[in-house]
Chain A
Amino acid sequence: MPWYIYLPIAQHSVALPVVVGLGFVVGLLSGLFGVGGGFLMTPLLIMIGIPPTVAAASDSNQIVAASASGTYAHYRLGNVDFKMGIYLLIGGVIGGTGGVQIIRILRQMGNADFLIKITYVVMLGFVGSYMFFESLQGLRAHKSRGGAVLENSNPVSSRFIQALPFQTHFDKSGIVLSPIVPLFLGGMVGILAAIMGVGGGFVMVPVMVYLLRMPMHVVVGTSLFQVLFTCIDVTIMQAYSNRTVDFVLALLLLVGSTFGAQIGARLSIRLKEDQLKIFLAVLVLVVMLKMLFSLVLPPHTLLSYHGGH
């Protein structure tokens, strides 16, 4: 097949249309559904033969590029809660650094790939199932009375958060909250970013909206701010500790995903949202099942290169 490109860190030659096309497909889904594509990008890269550690680290590098312009645009619009963002970021840097060290240790033990795959199975299984049932509910609600408003109240978690010490006022978001919460959440997202190569927006946005009750426009800007800087930290740490960042791969993915996202955003206006969400949920679940099978079915050979290729 013509148009191959050699990835110097993955030490793997890949068909250029496949990598750019993969970025395009993930970008298209991202534009269609308004979600980040990071959680689909890494598993798909693994499926085309990129070592999982390189796939995750390079995806983080790609997210830096993909979220940079969005963060700047929201910053100019005044949609970033910097106080909240800094707390999230401190947590993210600590979590991201810890995650990179976890990968380093597991790589030495030979199980870094397993951790990445099993984390994906759990996260994709959870996200895919949630999306599937939520979309199904949405479809039923539309059929019965043309739409329903879901009330998301969780008094137990709200009471717990309010009981935490050092309650601080976050002016931009208009909420009072203990800094422990964003520090903890940032830390969790940082760990996920290092292990999975995702920005973490798919975890952070619902948590900010439903749990922290932040206004939507501030949520998107602040989430992007945190994602950008966490992925900057993870990229540098992965390059330094694990030598797994392939920026050639990241740039190719960026080109594809940017074009895909633009087309997806235009298409999304014309298509029915709930049906599309079900399609995305099925896709996520299929990817999850593929990864799960690769973990439970006997591999074609029991021997593999130590620490990846």
Chain B
Amino acid sequence: MEVTDFMRHIIFMLLLSCFSLVPLLAETAWAAEPGKLSIQPEVLDIGTFYSGGRVTIEGEVPKGQDVVVEISGPAANGEFDLKGRVGPFWMTNGRVEMDGAPAMYALLLPGGSDWQKKASALGLGFEKLKNKIAIQSAALSPDELFNMFLELKKSEGLYVVEDNAVAYAAANNGRRRFTATCRFPRSTAAGNYTIKATAIANGAKSMELASSFLVDEVGFARLVYDLATNQRLTYGILAVVIALFAGAVMGLLFKGGRKH
């Protein structure tokens, strides 16, 4: 009996130690090292029940400085269709090629004074993007096409500028800790993203912290996508077989069929 009690005591102490260490470990992993960004979660998974995701970025800058965070996604499909009026209908009548346009772009700003103007003056935001993207089309000017591109991306929630998205903690040891939160929309593309935090002092850039971030299709969604892309015929036959099986199961459940 004494041995059993001793074992119980040991197990209890071990469990207690483990649970006590969990928050400590989490805190250690979560805290940003000086000069580095800490991103949570480390990878954003697009799985079967993906509905967008929230990503938190933490870091430290010198005391008294402000922070603007930029997130840009992988280069998107460079080809776009341009609609025009053909008779009474709006249909595709031109092609636009864009190189260097990220699939997603988010500019996270602190609260307070007019940060959109300040960021723009520092070369951050959509104006800077326009200069980075090479637009080729005979139909319209690059400025007009860029504005249309912005409208398209904004309508999908993929290009955003967010005020009050950067918060600060109390300064400690001459460092100021910041936290920025970004909502990745449902239409986020998989790929490598770049996250850059720019520290601003007296209206000028003082330092930059950068890190890469992965958005990845995982599990069943990845399996289906890979199969449909790499084994097209197999996928087509499989889709039919699954449909026949599902139809048979439904038929058995309800003892009948219906017309189409």
Contact = CB atoms under 8 A, between A and B. Distances in A.
Contacts of A223: 259
Interface string A190-233: 00000000110100010000000000000010011001000010
A248 interface: yes
A254 B247 contact: yes
A6 B244 CA distance: 23
Contact of A251 (B80, B187, B246, B253): B246
Contact of B224 (A8, A235, A236, A299): A8
Interface string B139-169: 0000001001101100100000000000000
A265 B258 CA distance: 9
Given A8-B221, A66-B258, A303 B80 contact: yes
B256 interface: yes
Nearest to B185: A13
A306 to B, nearest CB: 4
A170 interface: no
Contact of A111 (B49, B51, B91): B91
Interface stretch (A70-78, A86-94, A141-149, A174-182): A70-78
B186 A30 contact: no
A223 B258 CA distance: 11
B81 A220 contact: no
Select the residue from B152, B217, B222 with max chain A CB neighbours within 10 A: B152
Contacts of B247: 64-69, 254
Interface residues on chain B, size class: 35 or more
A70 B256 contact: yes
Contact of A13 (B77, B186, B248, B258): B186
Chain A residues touching B, majority SS: helix
Contact of B89 (A30, A34, A239, A296): A296
A223 B260 CA distance: 8
A296 B88 contact: yes
Interface string B66-110: 000000000001011111100011111001100000000000000
A300 interface: yes
A250 B260 contact: no
Q: Looking at A27, A239, A309, which has the most chain B CB atoms within 10 Å of its CB?
A: A239
A64 B237 CA distance: 12
B244 A68 contact: yes
A192 to B, nearest CB: 12
Given A72-B251, A306-B79, A245 B51 contact: no
A243 interface: yes
A8 B225 contact: yes
A36 interface: yes
Given A6-B48, A298-B90, A303 B81 contact: yes
A235 B77 CA distance: 26
B232 interface: yes
B240 interface: yes
A237 B239 CA distance: 11
Contact of A236 (B148, B186, B240, B254): B240
Contacts of B225: 8-9
Contacts of A166: none
A234 B41 CA distance: 42
Interface string B161-192: 00000000000000000000000001101000
Interface string B218-246: 00111011001100110111111011101
A154 interface: no
A248 B237 CA distance: 14
B82 A302 contact: yes
B95 A110 contact: yes
A307 B233 CA distance: 20
Contact of A254 (B50, B145, B155, B250): B250
A235 B48 contact: no
A64 B232 CA distance: 18
Contact of B236 (A37, A69, A245): A245
Contacts of B111: none
Contacts of B237: 236
Q: Can you list the 9 inter-chain pairs with the closest CB atoms, starting with the nearest?
A: A70-B257, A69-B251, A239-B236, A36-B260, A4-B51, A68-B247, A199-B260, A110-B92, A110-B81
23 contacts: A5-B49, A6-B47, A13-B186, A34-B259, A72-B251, A110-B92, A111-B92, A114-B89, A220-B259, A223-B259, A235-B239, A235-B243, A239-B232, A239-B239, A247-B242, A254-B243, A261-B258, A265-B258, A302-B82, A303-B148, A304-B81, A304-B92, A307-B79
Interface of B: 46-52, 77, 79-84, 88-92, 95-96, 145, 148-149, 151-152, 155, 186-187, 189, 217, 220-222, 224-225, 228-229, 232-233, 235-240, 242-244, 246-248, 250-254, 256-260
Given A12-B187, A223-B259, A295-B89, 17 more contacts: A8-B224, A36-B258, A68-B244, A72-B257, A111-B92, A114-B92, A236-B233, A236-B237, A236-B240, A243-B228, A243-B229, A247-B224, A254-B250, A296-B90, A302-B82, A304-B81, A305-B79
